[in-house]
Amino acid sequence: MGKAILFFPCHTGAHVREHGFLLFGFFCKPHIFMYFTTQYYSSMRIYIYGEKVLADTAQPVGVITSELCSLLNEMVLFMRDKHGVGLASPQIGVSQRFFVMDAGGKVRKVINPEILSFGNSTAEMEEGCLSLPGISMRVRRSKRIAVRYQNETGETVREELKDYPARVFQHEFDHLNGILFVDRIAQIARRMVIRDLERLAKKTEEVKYEAARL
């Protein structure tokens, strides 16, 4: 059997089972939500390392509107289209505190999440990210967490998550705080991928430059 590699699409999101490998592919003002339609899904893209939105701290959601609910639904479709298990809003260029995840046999639409406590036990597993294509490293995370968030109906949800769902939640939650998995690894490990990070940042700048010329 191949090893298990967590590759969030981070965002979020592509969850792909292939050749014995397990891959997890896991800015916007509030008033802009009124412009989101079902067509938004077709224009979604994964934002790549070097783009500012991935390093920003996302802003809380004030009012849960029908437009936000539609966007959450579209994110689930986009996540599934990428065979993903999680997708955070910054990964599609929206700097607000929400994400979707499909882990542990349940789809969660998570708004204004909090992690209330971390268990004592941790586990290390290899993670990757669609925002960091071609890079994967081992990341240590808590095996059990207690969380609180609002769902799409505005209801406050409290849950205790463990193992895989806990890891997905932590990974997506990090995105809302401008944290990528490479920010969670030791400096000695980060030095192993520094050239790859520089390559991605350079490519992002080149794309921005070309877009500005159009």
Show which residues are catalytic.
172
The per-residue DSSP string of 92-141 comes to: GT--BSEEEEEETTEEEEEEEEEEEEE-S-EEEEEEEETTEEEEEEEEEE
CA distance 78 to 57: 23
Residue 79 CB contacts under 8 Å (≥ 6 apart), including other chains: 9, 12, 13, 85, 86, 87, 100, 102
Residue 31, Cβ neighbours under 10 Å: how many? 9
CA distance 86 to 165: 10
Taking the alpha carbons at both ends of the chain, their separation in whole angstroms is 48
CA distance 102 to 197: 28
Chain position carrying tokens 């969670």: 184
